[in-house]
Amino acid sequence: MEETLALAGRLHFDHEDLQLALRLITNTGVRTRHLVQPIEMTLAHPGLEERNRVYVREAKRRIPSVVSQALRNAAITTDEVDAIILVSCTGFTMPSLTAWMINELGFRRDTRQIPIAQMGCAGGGSAINRAHDFCLAHPSSNALIVACEFCSLCYQPTDLAVGNLLSNGLFGDAVGAAVVRSSGGRGIRLERNESRLVPGTQDWISYAVRATGFHFLLDRRVPGTMQELAPALGEVCLAHGWDATELDFYVIHAGGPRVLDDLSSHLKVKSAAFERSRETLTEYGNIASVVVLDALRRTIATGLVPEGARGLIAGFGPGITAEVTLGTWTAG
């Protein structure tokens, strides 16, 4: 945080809203972030082609170890993976990196490929839901989720609106992976998934695709959508016979502290219920689609969730969309 504030002050010393931007960055609660390149290289803009080359290079460098760990955690091998769901909104390849993974990491040639590229921060929840759908449609199968987000490669030095300066101090880089098994395993037994969209908000979180790459657009009204999405989460729970205010654990996308605060208020649950999501935000920043995977990792690591506990996973992103999952905790 200290480096970010000092850097923003040096780069934008003559910006008329600098003090406001510094205050907003401070209020995010983000203490540390990880960037895929040194800060000097991150601030340079060598062009879209070079940035995408860095994206591909670093993804191929970092995905294998994360995938290997996820497979060990799930006690399965590459031969037992029937689908790979790759989610990313910060770079582009065709064919998808799923094809590279099959060729280079030892997966079967008939492994299904399900790339998700335009769900933004909701991508993590979307990937979990599509893995759930796949395993329901194909009994005895296993799906691997890989989320790869290098948000720093979308930094645009000419975007000087306060919202963009805030984003420069909020987003971080991360790679995460998880396995959804049709049976067995430890973690959340997925029981229901649904999607909700807030009408008329499709321009509130978006990319403007220009010659210089992806320019992130964020409307100041985004946190206010929790007033509509909280009841939607309640509806999903009610349809499953649950009360959204009385669940045992919550894995929520940490877009920022305001989102978590507003959701806590409108959902009528204590702020402490989102503690794992706040830890992700504090230690990594907003890592887009990887947030829910990291918050889930932290939930597992506590060892405090009892057998049979009921919980909710929710990812929010462009649309504005909520990807919602309900499940029960199992120790395997």
Instruction: Give the chain's mean pLDDT.
Output: 94
- How far apart CA 166 and CA 160 sit, in angstroms, is 10
| Sign of the torsion formed by the C-alpha atoms of 100, 103, 105 and 108 | positive
Same domain, 8 and 145: yes
| pLDDT tens-digit readout, 71-88 | 999 999 999 999 999 999
The predicted pLDDT at position 253 comes to 93
Whole-structure pTM value: 0.95
Res 163: pLDDT: 86
Q: Which helix (H) or strand (E) holds 149?
A: strand 142-150
One domain for residues 69 and 171: yes
- Count up the domains in the chain and report the number: 2
Whether 99 and 208 map to the same domain: the answer is no
pLDDT band at 218 (very low <50, low <70, confident <90, very high): confident
Same domain, 206 and 322: yes
Please tell me the distance from the alpha carbon of residue 131 to that of residue 149, in angstroms, as a whole number.
19
Percent of the chain's residues with pLDDT above 70: 100
**Token pair of 306, please?**
């009892």
Contacts of 183 (CB under 8 A, 6+ apart): 140
Q: Within this chain, do residues 177 and 40 fall inside the same structural domain, yes or no? A: yes
Q: Which are the contacts of 254, defined by CB distance < 8 A and separation ≥ 6? A: 260, 274, 277, 278, 280, 281, 286, 291, 295
pLDDT given for residue 254 in this prediction: 80
Same domain, 235 and 145: no
pLDDT confidence band for 220 (50 / 70 / 90)? confident
For the question of residue 89 being annotated catalytic, the response is: no
Nearest to 124 by CA among 288, 295, 276, 256: 288
Residues 29 and 169 in one domain: yes
Expressed as residue numbers, the domain containing 71 is 2-181
Give residue 330's pLDDT. 93
**pLDDT above 90: residue 119:** yes
Which residue in the list 121, 135, 148, 151 is annotated as catalytic? 121
Same domain, 15 and 159: yes
In this structure, what are the phi and psi dihedrals at residue 203, rounded to the nearest 5 degrees?
-100, 5
User: How far is Cα 275 from Cα 252, in angstroms, rounded to an integer?
Assistant: 10
Q: What is the pLDDT of residue 265?
A: 94
CA distance to 178, 201, 286, 299, per residue, from 182 (Å): 13, 35, 30, 21
pLDDT tens-place string over residues 150-188: 999 999 999 988 888 889 999 999 999 999 999 998 899
Lowest mean pLDDT among 62-71, 120-129, 202-211, 287-296: 202-211
Do 171 and 236 belong together in one domain? no
Q: Which amino acid is present at 8?
A: A
Strand partners, 330: 187
Residue 110 in this model has a pLDDT that exceeds 80: yes
Report pLDDT for 36: 96
Helices 123-137 and 291-302, axial angle in degrees (round to 10): 70
pLDDT for position 266:
95
Give the gyration radius of the chain's Cα atoms.
Answer: 19
Give residue 332's pLDDT band: very low, low, confident or very high (50, 70, 90). Answer: confident
Structure tokens at 94: 């065709």
Q: Closest Cα to residue 254, out of 72, 129, 151, 122?
A: 122
Burial class (CB in 10 A: 0-12, 13-18, 19+), 302: exposed
pLDDT tens, position by position, 23-75: 999 999 999 999 999 999 999 999 999 999 999 999 999 999 999 999 999 99
| Predicted local confidence at residue 55, as pLDDT | 97
Predicted pLDDT of residue 224? 87
pLDDT in tens, 288-310: 999 999 999 999 999 889 999 99
Do 177 and 213 sit in the same domain of this protein?
A: no
Q: Which SS3 state, helix, strand or coil, does residue 61 take? A: helix
pLDDT-derived band at 277 (thresholds 50, 70, 90) equals: very high
| One domain for residues 85 and 132 | yes
From the DSSP assignment, how many helices (H) and strands (E) are in the chain?
11, 10
CATH assignment of the domain containing 157: 3.40.47.10
Using an 8 Å Cβ cutoff, are 142 and 179 in contact? Answer: yes
Question: Mind listing the pLDDT tens digit for each residue in 224-241?
Answer: 899 999 999 999 999 999
